[in-house]
A and B are shown apart, each in its own frame.
Chain A
Amino acid sequence: MAIPTDPTLAGVAAAPPADVAKADVEVALESLSQWQLAWRRFRKHRMAMVGLGFFAFMILVAIFGPIIMPFDPTNIPGTTNPAGYPPSLAHLFGTDTVGRDVFAMVVNGARISVAIGGFSMLIAGFIGVVVGAVAGYFGGWVDNVLMRVVDTFFAIPLLFVILVAAKFFGQGQVISLIVIFGVLSWPLIARLVRAQFLSLREADFVEAARAVGVRDGRITFRHILPNAIGPVIVAMTLIMASNIVLEAFVSYLNFGISANQTSWGNALANAQSALGLGNWWWAFFPGMAIAVTVMSINFVGDGLRDALDPRTRL
């Protein structure tokens, strides 16, 4: 006993596949993978594309800049003008008190600043995803304990911890700053991942997977994590941006990168006396490097937020 339907529709119910294909031509003309779709959405986001372009340029500068730079930023050539020279063709961003090339400082600083931002982001992402996933998936007392740890991290005035830790674990080491920043910035990710897991573990498709007999590990990695990763990637870009700023800040206070290395924060620290002397270029170019890089990362994050959300329609 079949419910009578519109004949064309009823045909589909028991139709051979060829007919189904014909009926469904307009549904989807081409099949794209999730990443292709995300890229397509990302491309529509103009500021994100600008941000991505600049960020990619910064990465290239960070990797290759120091190799092709004609000036060594740590080389102190001595100078006839103790106030430094303003920007010129020979020194695009001018020179500082002791004759160091500011352009070389900015280019070399990119390497350390971007490395600290990027690698601390990866550490924070890894710890945050693991802790958040465990808390959100298992819930109960596990969740309770882990989230109280997260709360504790949020309650600590991080700046003091960073200052103390930076002094304690090898002052001036890039690697120690990466670890400290990474270990201190994961709680945000953990909270986000936990919230995603809490809602996704009740999702119908997760229930469906469970009903089929899928084990916990596969549910976590095949069903929940791919659907939770969008907001996490966005948050990670924000963490990278804020850690670049944090590096500059800590270095400015002389708790960060040692003075014989070059980072944007160090360059700013060196420029402390610049404003009094009217030598705007000491502070302006490193400052702009930080501001523009952070902004472009934030734009990328903004574009990713839209691009990675499968609900966003093309």
Chain B
Amino acid sequence: MTARLPGTAERPETGAGDATASSRTATASAGRGADGHALLEVSDLRMYFPITEGILLERHVGDVRAVDGVSLEIRRGETLGLVGESGCGKSTTGRAITRLYRPTGGRIVFDGTDITRAEGEPLRRIRRRMQMIFQDPYSSLNPRMTAAGIVGEPLDIHAIGTKTERRERVRELFRIVGLDPDFGERYPHEFSGGQRQRIGVARSLAVNPDLIVADEPISALDVSIQAQIINLLERLQAQFGLTYLFIAHDLSVVRHISDRIAVMYLGRIVELAGTRELHAAPLHPYSVALLSAVPIPDPAVEARRRRVILRGDVPNPASPPPGCHFHTRCWLRERLGNPPECETVSPPLAEWRPRHFAACHFVDRLGEMPESAAPATSGVSRPPARETPPA
């Protein structure tokens, strides 16, 4: 693997003054551990959507940089949570990985095969191993097809098994996701939201995939149903050895299901760490703010929880701020007296602690934060940040 490092080099913002920062990332292959084989390797993924003007002759006037240099790895059998605000590019990342979009740049390597530019038959073969669960169980099922038709379609188009085998497999899939196989001849509108999501899950399982990209699979469901679907996904992972990329905007859900979490902001990953590490000691000011917004289910602790409130909105991804994308809303930068690097140099995603990556120039100054702004979890004193990992 020629791991292009997260957010380094070849990017206009990361220019000359970036040398020290990028040396720190020399081995930061974004979390590839010794304990697993990477099923999916994404390096410097970029997905720009062109903005055009004119009716007959379309002129290219700019780009919405939905994903702007994302690197991550997912090992076989693990769950990587991808969190961020609406519009930060997390869904786009998922859709680019499943090749619903054609990436503008970067590389997507799935189980050793580069699928960044795959088209036609090779892409169809890869699709058998990579499936997606969609957010909205109402719009993701074709209202004109029966439930069995929807679940069986992947089998039909990949010509898996005989007709009878396929019918039996569909019934089995219904049972696996907890639906009555006799409901197969019904149409989506005859099911409840949770049942529909189960149909969506069954469809994604039909071809026995390795990787499932779950794009906010529960955020459109009632809270009681959310737990059911989460439990179902966990059971299926254990049962079939699935690998998940779990996209969500709700940290508490992601915390529950993920082994590792990547925090995204405006098209870039700002922090990537094991779930426990991230929650115990977030290193990026944005993650600190996100985590401080999660209520704690213990009234005593909750009363002491202090929130970091971010001001303003996410900037327009068509013209992202120079330097660190987060600097316009960063409370740490303000506290440090607006150091100039934040506006000029894009911080690389560096390994500040073992397998804990963050993209901020001032991770080591985070501890200087006064108690008034500290999230409940950061009361502990931090170990010094790792400055130079072995090359």
Report the bound CA distance from A310 to B138 in whole Å.
12
Surface stretch bound by A, among B82-90, B189-197, B285-293, B335-343? B189-197
- Asked whether A5 and B224 contact (CB < 8 A) given A210-B100, A227-B142, the answer is yes
Q: Known: A3-B230, A213-B154. Is A17-B174 also a contact (CB below 8 A)? A: yes
Closest to A313 in B: B189
Residues of A within 8 A of B190 (CB): 27-28, 31
Size band of the interface chain A makes with B: 35 or more
- A-B pairs with CB below 8 Å: how many? 131
In this complex, the member of B131, B179, B228 whose beta carbon has the largest number of chain A beta carbons within 10 angstroms is B228
> 8 Å CB contacts to B: which residues of A74-94?
none
0 or 1 for each of B183-210: is its CB under 8 Å from A? (1 = yes): 1011101111001000010010011000
A18 to B174, CA, bound (A): 12
Query: Could you tell me the distance between the alpha carbons of A203 and B128 in the complex, rounded to whole angstroms?
Result: 21
A57 beta carbon closer than 8 Å to chain B = no
**What is the 8 Å Cβ interface bit string for chain A, positions 17-53, against chain B (1 contact, 0 not)?**
1101100100110010010000000000000000000
A205 CB within 8 Å of chain B: yes
Measured CB to CB, the nearest residue on chain B to A17 is B180
Provide the bound-state CA to CA distance between A203 and B145, in Å: 15
Residues of A within 8 A of B144 (CB): 34, 226-227, 310
Given contacts A17-B180, A21-B182, A218-B157, whether A227 and B134 have CB atoms under 8 Å apart is: no
A223–B235 alpha-carbon span in the complex (Å):
31
- Partner of A3 from B143, B189, B207, B256 at Cβ < 8 Å: B256
Contact A213 B195 (CB under 8 A): no
Best-buried of B158, B191, B231 by chain A (most CB within 10 Å): B231
Specify which of B139, B180, B182, B227 is in contact with A205 (CB 8 Å cutoff): B139
Q: Are the CB atoms of B181 and A209 closer together than 8 Å?
A: no
Decide if B232 is an interface residue (CB 8 Å cutoff).
yes
B379 in the interface, Cβ–Cβ < 8 Å?
Answer: no
- Across the interface, A10 reaches (CB within 8 A) one of B128, B192, B228, namely B228
Query: Nearest CB to that of B124 among chain A residues?
Result: A213
Q: List 27 A-B contacts (CB under 8 A).
A: A1-B256, A5-B228, A6-B224, A9-B228, A10-B231, A14-B235, A15-B178, A17-B179, A27-B195, A28-B183, A31-B190, A144-B55, A148-B56, A203-B139, A204-B134, A204-B140, A207-B100, A208-B134, A208-B140, A210-B100, A212-B131, A212-B153, A213-B124, A213-B128, A213-B158, A223-B145, A310-B144
Interface residues in chain A, defined as those with a beta carbon under 8 Å from any beta carbon in chain B: 1-6, 9-10, 12-18, 20-21, 24, 27-28, 31, 34, 144, 148, 203-205, 207-215, 218, 222-223, 226-227, 310
Known contacts A5-B224, A17-B178, A227-B143, then 6 further A-B pairs from the complex at CB < 8 Å, ordered by chain A residue: A9-B228, A13-B231, A17-B182, A205-B142, A212-B153, A213-B157
6 tightest CB-CB pairs across the interface, nearest first?
A28-B190, A213-B127, A204-B140, A226-B144, A3-B227, A204-B139
